Structure 1
Amino acid sequence: MRFPIVAASLLVASSIPASAQDMTAPEYPETRRGDVVETFFGEEVADPYRWLEDDVRNNPEVADWVDRQNAVTDAYLEALPARAWFEERIGELYDYERFSTPVVRGDHYFYTRNSGLQNQSPLYVRDGLDGEPRLLLDPNEWADDGATALSGWVPSPDGSKLLYSVQDGGTDWRILRVLDVATGEQIGGDIRWAKFTSLAWVGEEGFLYSRFPEPEEGEDFQALNMDQAIYYHALGTEQSADELVFATPDAPERNHTAGVTDDGRWMVIYSSTGTDARYEVHVVDLAARETNGWHATPLITGFEHSWSAIDSVGSRMWFVTNQDAPLYRVVSIDLEDIEAGWTEVIAEREQPIADAGMVGEYLVVEYLEDASSSAYVTTLDGEPVREIEFAGIGSAGGFGGTPDSNETFYSFSSFNRAGTIYRYDVATGESTIFAAPEVSFDPEDFVVEQRFYESKDGTRVPMFIVRRADVAASGEAVPTLLYGYGGFDVSLTPGFSASRLAWVEAGGAFALANIRGGGEYGRAWHDGGRRANKQNVFDDFIAAGEFLIAEGVTPEDGLAIQGGSNGGLLVGAVANQRPDLFAAGNAAVGVMDMLRFDRFTAGRYWVDDYGYPDREEDWRILRAYSPLHNIQPDTDYPALLVTTADTDDRVVPGHSFKYTAALQAENLGDRPQLIRIETRAGHGSGKPTDKAIEEAADIAAFLAYWTGLEPTE
């Protein structure tokens, strides 16, 4: 139990292709300018495209604008010379068998498996490790366009039932359902208005989930998310009869999620106020529920540190925390004697702990070592047993299990290695392959290396660089795609991507910069790139681009940049600050209006990283880098492709709409400033495979054209 997304030859041009004049900025659709002007802390700020914040479903003018923008963008992207090549090759690279790590309950093994190009991954169950797989759920049958996804699932303790969540059209809202594993029949009706929820069984009779109040009509995708509460649903009852378990009506900004230990005794409630991993923790003794109800005992108060329960044995529970340990440590406590305090089990190391699990009578602790995975087995008292060996630089994940079994599963992947699933025995240290993909490339044809560079203030920053082996050996500077994120304590680690590998197969280089704001080096690395320190994120990314040019990895006119969500903000900000450095960029589902991000859906949570727009000190910092408000008129800009989706209720598409309108209104040179708006899609999760391939091909072809990457047959 653990609690809280065939190599081709190439011709590389050293500059923009000779045919570039044919692909220069098209005539943009007209965008109406409004007259909204507001005064903040003595400064007048115009917001002429405020009307583009409206939901496309409810405002015909916004819907018309979307249609006209897509018509121009679609025609442009269709004409790109490498578009067909990228779509074909990315599709081929996607076409391999993919498995999730199995979850074991009783003698049932649950896992997802995608045969290759299925839009959504079906869920299977085996009776016994070597049992015949049986299809349990096929989300590909749920919608004709493949845009309804299986987003989460948890088997009941004995494996006889399955609680799962449905995501429709990319929204963050979830529909919860329960399935009888033996018959495949749904038990009871749908549970609605769940969002940002964990799923946890209480015995075999019911489950816990988190929900928000039902929004007013037409506000599903824009209204602020407030008053989250935890409910208990008993099987066989209507949702209207669900029991309120935990809520804080006097503090409606707080979020609450719940989990249950594998032995079923303890319920753990996490409360937070934003995106920071700073929690209050309550525990409920489920063994005393008949007499005490849902009585929640405070365990951690104050919203000061990160706490993540690993599991419990009897009354002893283990946690990962950064209290008195910025790189995290493992501690335990006796819940029947809380006053006795905490016992340190595994002390802080030089590398941050990424996760931990209990398997049998052992702990498996995962670390990040320069943004790559390592893992160690210890006893429950923290005594070292062994290191788990991985196949080089990469990312491992999984290691779920129960205290009564030595069996666990984990995945391993890297830039040149698709995910392989391993079964691991913690008692013996034996690793065996559970599922290995057959892929259409040879991993040895590619070189993955890690380099370090200095940022503007001298900070040492790691970067992964991936190239074809022959390209790396030649020392030739080639068009390079640089990716970054830099926020919210999110660590970027090596992983497989069909679109990135297609770029590299075409002869380009892919670089991933582990800039500040992430969690690669613990709390200090995160703090170094947020709020008043946010400019460090942009400086780190700019320095990464300068390093790639200085080291001869990419030519001066061959650097493309990409980022999504907070990374979309990154692309927008650095394009404003250093438009001369980049040839092209893709800003995906980005936070572009830093003065109003907190007005919609989940935006209010982000103040932990960005600060408060209604406080002058924070506002002035936000105003200084907000992509929407710092576009440089009469300046040659990189070619920019903004991507978003109509059902993104995480970062509402109005951010991208307003930003694109502002770009198109200025004289930014001959390179295009376009927006691609997907329908029936959201922030990214649940996107069907066919849409993912089409979008990836559009982006790759756009960036390839403006960096001079020309794959040929």
Structure 2
Amino acid sequence: MTTKVVWNVTIPCFLLFHFFREGELDAGTETNINLNHQIYYHVMGSDQSEDILCWKDPEHPKYSFGASVTEDGKYIVLSIYEGCDPVNKLYHCEISSLPRGIEGFRGTEELLPFVKLIDNFDAQYEVVANDGDEFTFSTNKSAPKNKLVRVNLKNPEFWTDVLPEHEKDVLESADVVNNNHLLVCYMSDVKHVLQLRDFGTGNLIHQLPLEIGSVFEISCRREDKEVFIGFTSFLSPGIIYRCNLASTIPEMKVFRETSVPGFDRTRFQVRQVFIPSKDGTKIPMFIMSKKDIKLDGSHPTLLYGYGGFNISLTPSFSVGRVVLCKNMDFVVCIANIRGGGEYGEEWHKAGALAMKQNCFDDFVACAEYLISDRYTSSKQLCIEGGSNGGLLIAASINQRPDLFGCALAHVGVMDMLRFHKFTIGHAWTTDYGCSDKEEEFHWLIKYSPLHNVRRPWEQSSDNHCQYPATMLLTADHDDRVVPLHSLKLLAVSYIYIDEAADRYGFMAKMLGASWTE
């Protein structure tokens, strides 16, 4: 199977776009492994068959690629990924040096002459801006919380730091605006902070006012004096701020705000607490509820988590959560467990590979806090997660069935011994490991949901408990976490139930026992 990758470029009449699968019947239920990504150049209005092949690497069929064109149109920058870790190789091609441009490669077998700048997977590099041959990158090289560095492509041996790694906060993004300013977004205890800095030195110029929440988009170009900033929080459906960076003191003015009929934010409260996990690590958790609720253990509660792949669960608005809180007196909680990116790459790695059990321990600690602090009881506590979060939910109910009253697992990765054999699953081995390797097999078999289903009487003496009511959700067109994960887990659970019913039904019949109540 060949996967075609194309990308967006600011050259009139041309389009390069992303990830398109060709050459196979798309019934939506395929499980074949995704291999041999390629990058093509597409002219708008032309037939796809006329696309120009720009890059492939048949010697490394599991590699995936991303490509972008610099704002000045001079360079194509190629990022190469081996899995889901925040690491990549980085190549570049100077378009202006091609005698006939990309069109000169039409009908040939040649690939674009990319030059290797970074040719190993030891760190992540993302383009922030370039001045001709001089590039500024965001990287986690020797900086788990990220920093900005600068290098000249014509003299690639010499790199300089522009903005060093912050001691506590994670550098989320950096954009060059107003010609020589940096608009920098940090994540501080799972909340975003915006700063205006000097592009040349990285020195702080202004801290921009921002309430507690998340920046979900920054729209700007280098020459722009104005920037548009998308913001959300648990109590803000969506605000687009307009900020004039040329003014002496930049102001964040509301350009457009989303309103939800019937929603009064003053009736709700959001707290952030920090809970010690099994090993003492403090785990952040957001708690949303009506104001001034009584902590009497009576509230139905939803606890949501993810914990993987360097993905952070920052504050965001959800009508569904508001309905639960407003109309059903729910407490809604978001647990920022290890495995995510909330505190940088070290936090991610502390919940990956051999350390994956930390994710489940963190989640259990958050659940126990909600019970011990009298928000809820175990019978009224529901846990929810999807994909890697679905794995989290299934593993949690295997390990602590006594702690939850209900569980919702969306499209979970349930078979940890074979996930790498289906579609893009091979890319997840960077977070989970792979059962083909003996040491990693022993990590995975300990928590794989499919392989740790237990009959209630097989639980240890302190965990002798029925499973909570559980809903498994999947989709026959999910080509990422294929349906077989949830279906296999469901089948195993049914087999255990049917086996017990048959065994004890036979025993009752033979002994003449009858149902009394």
User: Which of the five TM-score ranges fits, normalised by the shorter chain?
Assistant: 0.7 to 0.9
- Once the two structures are TM-superposed, the CA of residue 397 in structure 1 deviates from its matched residue by 2.3
Counterpart position of 1:329: 147
Distance 1:203 1:218 in 2: 32
Counterpart position of 2:483: 653
When residues 387 and 657 of structure 1 are mapped into structure 2, their CA distance, relative to the original with a 3 A threshold, is same
Distance 2:6 2:20 in 1: 13
Distance 1:597 1:494 in 2: 30
Instruction: Determine whether 1:481 maps to 2:302.
Output: yes
Equivalent residue letter for 1:369: S
CA contact (8 A) 1:358 1:400 kept: no
Equivalent residue letter for 1:422: Y
CA contact (8 A) 1:212 1:229 kept: no
Equivalent residue letter for 1:347: P
Instruction: Determine whether 1:525 maps to 2:334.
Output: no
CA contact (8 A) 2:417 2:441 kept: yes
When residues 279 and 193 of structure 1 are mapped into structure 2, their CA distance, relative to the original with a 3 A threshold, is closer
CA contact (8 A) 2:214 2:233 kept: yes
CA contact (8 A) 1:212 1:228 kept: no
- Once the two structures are TM-superposed, the CA of residue 216 in structure 1 deviates from its matched residue by 3.6
Distance 2:251 2:133 in 1: 31
Instruction: Determine whether 1:395 maps to 2:217.
Output: no
Counterpart position of 1:281: 90
Instruction: Determine whether 1:260 maps to 2:78.
Output: no
Greater alpha carbon shift after TM alignment, 420-429 vs 636-645: 420-429
Equivalent residue letter for 1:661: A
- Once the two structures are TM-superposed, the CA of residue 423 in structure 1 deviates from its matched residue by 1.5
- Once the two structures are TM-superposed, the CA of residue 211 in structure 1 deviates from its matched residue by 4.4
Distance 2:86 2:60 in 1: 18
- Post-superposition Cα deviations, 1:239-265, rounded to whole Å, max 9, x if no partner, equal 222111111111111111101111211
Counterpart position of 2:160: 343
Stretches of structure 1 that go unaligned for 5 or more consecutive residues are 1-172, 174-191, 669-713
CA contact (8 A) 1:644 1:653 kept: yes
Distance 2:322 2:21 in 1: 43
Counterpart position of 2:126: 308
CA contact (8 A) 2:3 2:34 kept: no
CA contact (8 A) 1:357 1:363 kept: yes
Distance 1:213 1:570 in 2: 30
Counterpart position of 2:8: 200
TM-score by length of 1: 0.64
CA contact (8 A) 1:213 1:228 kept: no
Equivalent residue letter for 2:97: A
TM-score by length of 2: 0.88
CA contact (8 A) 2:398 2:454 kept: yes
State the secondary structure of the residue aligned to 2:446.
helix
- Post-superposition Cα deviations, 1:374-399, rounded to whole Å, max 9, x if no partner, equal 111111121211112112x2111222
- For residues 38-77 of structure 1, the aligned pairs below 5 Å read none
CA contact (8 A) 1:209 1:257 kept: no
State the secondary structure of the residue aligned to 2:121.
coil
- Post-superposition Cα deviations, 1:183-235, rounded to whole Å, max 9, x if no partner, equal xxxxxxxxx965xx563215214233454663443676322110001111123
Equivalent residue letter for 2:281: T
Distance 1:465 1:226 in 2: 42
CA contact (8 A) 1:448 1:464 kept: yes
CA contact (8 A) 1:378 1:384 kept: yes
- For residues 147-546 of structure 1, the aligned pairs below 5 Å read 194=4, 199-201=7-9, 203-211=11-19, 214-217=22-25, 221-290=30-99, 294-339=112-157, 341-349=158-166, 350-361=168-179, 362-381=181-200, 382-391=202-211, 393-428=212-247, 429-439=250-260, 440-471=262-293, 477-505=298-326, 506-546=328-368
Distance 1:344 1:216 in 2: 47
State the secondary structure of the residue aligned to 1:501.
helix
Instruction: Determine whether 1:617 maps to 2:436.
Output: no
When residues 291 and 437 of structure 1 are mapped into structure 2, their CA distance, relative to the original with a 3 A threshold, is closer
Distance 1:370 1:247 in 2: 40
- Once the two structures are TM-superposed, the CA of residue 315 in structure 1 deviates from its matched residue by 2.3
Counterpart position of 1:594: 416
Stretches of structure 2 that go unaligned for 5 or more consecutive residues are 103-111, 457-464, 499-517
State the secondary structure of the residue aligned to 1:656.
helix
Equivalent residue letter for 1:478: H
Q: Percent identity?
A: 39
CA contact (8 A) 1:408 1:425 kept: yes
Counterpart position of 1:43: none
Distance 1:645 1:556 in 2: 29
Distance 2:21 2:478 in 1: 19
CA contact (8 A) 2:416 2:448 kept: yes
- Once the two structures are TM-superposed, the CA of residue 411 in structure 1 deviates from its matched residue by 1.4
Equivalent residue letter for 1:616: E
CA contact (8 A) 1:280 1:301 kept: yes
CA contact (8 A) 2:6 2:39 kept: no
State the secondary structure of the residue aligned to 1:470.
coil
When residues 281 and 485 of structure 1 are mapped into structure 2, their CA distance, relative to the original with a 3 A threshold, is same
When residues 278 and 198 of structure 1 are mapped into structure 2, their CA distance, relative to the original with a 3 A threshold, is farther
Distance 1:307 1:359 in 2: 20
- Post-superposition Cα deviations, 1:23-65, rounded to whole Å, max 9, x if no partner, equal xxxxxxxxxxxxxxxxxxxxxxxxxxxxxxxxxxxxxxxxxxx
Counterpart position of 2:106: none
Distance 2:222 2:131 in 1: 7
Distance 1:236 1:412 in 2: 36
Counterpart position of 2:513: none
Distance 2:425 2:54 in 1: 26
Counterpart position of 1:123: none
Equivalent residue letter for 2:367: G
- Once the two structures are TM-superposed, the CA of residue 335 in structure 1 deviates from its matched residue by 2.4
When residues 198 and 530 of structure 1 are mapped into structure 2, their CA distance, relative to the original with a 3 A threshold, is farther
State the secondary structure of the residue aligned to 2:477.
coil
CA contact (8 A) 2:149 2:161 kept: yes
Bigger relative contact order, structure 1 or 2 (CA pairs below 8 A, ≥6 apart): 1
Aligned-pair RMSD on alpha carbons?
2.0
Counterpart position of 1:161: none
CA contact (8 A) 1:612 1:618 kept: yes
CA contact (8 A) 1:210 1:256 kept: no
State the secondary structure of the residue aligned to 2:403.
coil
Distance 2:235 2:218 in 1: 22
Distance 1:663 1:426 in 2: 59
CA contact (8 A) 1:210 1:228 kept: no
State the secondary structure of the residue aligned to 2:99.
helix
When residues 216 and 199 of structure 1 are mapped into structure 2, their CA distance, relative to the original with a 3 A threshold, is closer
Counterpart position of 1:166: none
Distance 2:22 2:32 in 1: 11
Distance 2:349 2:303 in 1: 23
When residues 468 and 211 of structure 1 are mapped into structure 2, their CA distance, relative to the original with a 3 A threshold, is closer
Distance 1:508 1:291 in 2: 63
Distance 2:383 2:231 in 1: 26
CA contact (8 A) 2:217 2:231 kept: no
Number of equivalent positions:
473
